[in-house]
């Protein structure tokens, strides 16, 4: 059987990784400044994380959600403490799209309405209930015939209010910082106004922190830069450092009932062990402080490169923007300089999402390689 060929692949085969270094089958080391779309939060094969998963695997990897699992409780309590959202409840699932799917469902059940507001260039996943907008083409797969999605430009609150006034909107879903779309983000004034109009018109405010959460922005969740309290927050990627796990954080205004949500794999013993280990390492190694230190260093160091038009994003969720298509530059950085970076829908943007453990030397290596590459490509 062949693989269904949906991904263009670089001719590199990683076989091993430690912290921010990936080694391929030829023994070549690569600096990882992408974390596989922002998934590796605490560094590849972090020893405490590996030990915790191995230990759990020896005991019990999985059983049904209909049987007590104290690891889920431990994970929820740690997540509440570290994020400062102790009064929210946690529903565990296995991916970002699944988290968003459940958030949209909850919003619809709670309001008895079905229309969704999302934003241009947003990305919320690829399942049938999630909403995706890629390459500026709006791909919308509604939950049912009624659950249509309306896309609006970011930062134009009057357009959001005009839609909410119609009375049929169950929720507004927005990324803390846009990932795939190219690192655009709402202003603090916009997020605060969004919170207000959602309350006024009884629509649920969903913060998609699948990519921007877990410390990546320099706060536990990116919305925490804006002083708001969303009704629902979704998370995944960095939550498991490579183990598939997602979560829906639900504010106290929602009432749980048996059968309202459900999943087979979400919150398995193994997934919880991975999730707990990630939170322990983020806390013990003060990784959010590291994000802020290294991010400040990055913003300063990048000034040496006049070709850069702008640096977008926050913390270690960054987009370096040029005034040309960066495809050749990115390829050169990977193949010749052995540094992984990411691409975005904005073709002029190099995405930088390293493990949150990256240090200043890693940034220096990137800056040197970027300078050399820009000269060599002239
Ligand atoms: N939401 C955001 C903001 C994302 O960046 C992604 C994935 O890139 C998703 C949701 C979907 O997550 P997953 O691929 O785990 O389903």
Q: Which CATH architecture has domain 48-284?
A: 3-Layer(aba) Sandwich (3.40)
pLDDT at 157: 98
For residues 44 and 22, is the Cβ–Cβ distance under 8 A? yes
User: In degrees, to the nearest 5, what angle opens at C-alpha 134 toward C-alphas 308 and 161?
Assistant: 95
pTM score, two decimals? 0.96
Residue ranges of the chain that CATH labels 3.40.640.10: 48-284
pLDDT at 37: 92
Least confident of 10-24, 57-71, 111-125, 161-175: 111-125
Nearest CA to ligand 1 atom 12: 96
Ligand 1 proximity of 180 Cβ (cutoff 6 Å): yes
Residues β-bridged to residue 321: 310, 349
pLDDT at 147 over 70: no
Beta strands in the chain (DSSP E): 14-18, 21-24, 29-32, 89-93, 115-119, 131-134, 137-140, 149-152, 169-175, 204-208, 232-235, 246-250, 310-314, 317-321, 339-340, 349-352
pLDDT at 126: 75
pLDDT at 129 over 80: no
pLDDT at 137 over 80: no
Which tokens go with 275?
């999730």
Residue ranges of the chain that CATH labels 3.90.1150.10: 34-45+286-368
pLDDT at 60: 96
User: What digits encode the pLDDT tens for the residues 28-82?
Assistant: 999 999 999 999 999 999 999 999 999 999 999 999 998 999 999 999 999 999 9
Beta strands in 225-364 (DSSP E): 232-235, 246-250, 310-314, 317-321, 339-340, 349-352
* d(CA 125, ligand 1 centre) in Å: 5
For residues 212 and 176, is the Cβ–Cβ distance under 8 A? yes
* d(CA 305, ligand 1 centre) in Å: 31
pLDDT at 132: 44
Give domain 34-45+286-368's CATH number out of 2.60.40.1730, 3.90.1150.10, 3.40.50.800, 3.40.50.300.
Answer: 3.90.1150.10
Structure-token match 């087979």, residue found = 264
Ligand 1 proximity of 210 Cβ (cutoff 6 Å): yes
Per cent of the chain over pLDDT 70 is: 94
Ligand 1 proximity of 20 Cβ (cutoff 6 Å): no
Structure-token match 């391929």, residue found = 24
Q: Distance between CA atoms of 197 and 200, rounded to whole angstroms? A: 5
pLDDT at 177 over 80: yes
For the CA of 97, the closest atom of ligand 1 is 16
Nearest CA to ligand 1 atom 13: 96
pLDDT mean across residues, the chain = 93
Instruction: Give the model's confidence band at 125: pLDDT under 50 very low, under 70 low, under 90 confident, else very high.
Output: confident
Q: Which of 39, 93, 119, 179 to mutate to test the pocket of ligand 1 (most atoms within 8 A of CB)?
A: 179
* d(CA 268, ligand 1 centre) in Å: 20
pLDDT at 345: 87
pLDDT at 285: 98
User: What digits encode the pLDDT tens for the residues 252-288?
Assistant: 999 999 999 999 999 999 999 999 999 999 999 999 9
Length of the chain: 378
User: What digits encode the pLDDT tens for the residues 333-375?
Assistant: 999 999 999 999 899 999 999 999 999 999 999 999 999 999 9
């Amino acid at each position: 059987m062949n693989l269904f060929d949906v991904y263009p692949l670089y001719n590199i085969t990683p076989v091993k990784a430690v912290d921010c270094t990936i080694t391929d089958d030829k023994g070549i080391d690569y600096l990882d400044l992408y974390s596989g779309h922002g998934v590796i939060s605490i560094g590849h094969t972090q020893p405490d994380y590996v030990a915790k998963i191995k230990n759990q695997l020896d005991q019990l990897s999985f059983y049904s959600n209909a049987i007590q699992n104290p690891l889920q409780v431990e994970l929820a309590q740690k997540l509440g403490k570290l994020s400062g959202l102790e009064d929210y409840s946690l529903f565990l699932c296995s991916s970002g799209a699944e988290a968003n799917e459940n958030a949209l469902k909850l919003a619809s059940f709670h309001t008895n309405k079905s229309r969704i507001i999302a934003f241009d260039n947003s990305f919320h996943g690829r399942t049938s209930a999630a909403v995706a907008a890629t390459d500026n083409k709006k791909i919308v797969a509604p939950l049912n015939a009624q659950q249509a999605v309306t896309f609006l430009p970011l930062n134009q609150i009057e357009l959001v209010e005009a839609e909410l006034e119609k009375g049929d909107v169950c929720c507004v879903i927005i990324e803390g910082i846009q990932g795939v779309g190219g690192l655009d983000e709402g202003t603090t004034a916009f997020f605060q106004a969004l919170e207000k109009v959602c309350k006024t018109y009884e629509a649920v405010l969903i913060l998609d922190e699948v990519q921007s959460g877990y410390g990546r922005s320099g706060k536990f969740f990116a919305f925490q830069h804006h002083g708001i309290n969303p009704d629902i927050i979704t998370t995944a990627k960095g939550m498991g450092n490579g183990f598939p796990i997602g979560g829906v954080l639900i504010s106290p205004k929602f009432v749980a009932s048996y059968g309202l949500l459900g999943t087979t794999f979400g919150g398995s013993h193994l997934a919880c062990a991975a999730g707990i280990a990630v939170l322990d390492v983020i806390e013990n190694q003060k990784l959010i402080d590291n994000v802020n230190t290294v991010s400040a260093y990055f913003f300063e160091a990048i000034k040496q490169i006049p070709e850069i038009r702008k640096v977008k994003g926050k913390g270690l969720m960054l987009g370096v923007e040029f005034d040309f298509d960066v495809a050749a530059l990115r390829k050169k950085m990977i193949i010749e300089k052995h540094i992984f970076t990411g691409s975005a829908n904005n073709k002029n943007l190099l995405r930088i999402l390293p493990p949150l453990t990256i240090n200043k030397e890693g940034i220096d290596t990137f800056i040197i390689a970027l300078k050399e590459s820009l000269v060599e490509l002239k």
